[in-house]
């Protein structure tokens, strides 16, 4: 997903997306370990999406704290 799409989400949606991506990453790692992973590029893509979500959550939290 593009970072712009993540930036349109609110913090609660981003936290849910973070949980979903963490679960997806776990499943992909499990598939890799058992040699069932069909697309090996899905692993780095999931890691990068998770990092993007965490970064945007941190930005939004920082913005809320600065406004207060």
CATH code where residue 17 lies: 1.10.287
d(CA 23, CA 17): 10
Domain membership flag for residue 68: no
Q: Could you list the pLDDT tens digit for every one of the 68 residues in the chain?
A: 788 999 999 999 999 999 999 999 999 999 999 999 999 999 999 999 999 999 999 999 998 888 87
Asked whether 49 and 20 are in contact (CB, 8 A), the reply is: no
Domain membership flag for residue 12: yes
Domain membership flag for residue 67: no
Burial (CB < 10 A; 0-12, 13-18, 19+), residue 28, is: buried
Domain membership flag for residue 21: yes
Domain membership flag for residue 23: yes
Q: Count of domains in the chain?
A: 1
15: tokens are 């936290």
CA 32, 40, 50, 48 torsion-angle sign = positive
What is the rounded end-to-end Cα distance, in angstroms, of the chain? 31
């Amino acid at each position: 997903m593009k970072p712009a799409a993540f930036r349109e989400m609110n913090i609660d949606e981003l936290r849910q997306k973070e949980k979903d991506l963490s679960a997806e990453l776990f499943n992909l790692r499990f598939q890799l370990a058992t040699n069932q992973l069909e697309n090996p590029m899905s692993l780095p893509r999931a890691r990068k999406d998770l990092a993007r979500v965490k970064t945007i959550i941190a930005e939004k939290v920082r913005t809320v704290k600065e406004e207060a």
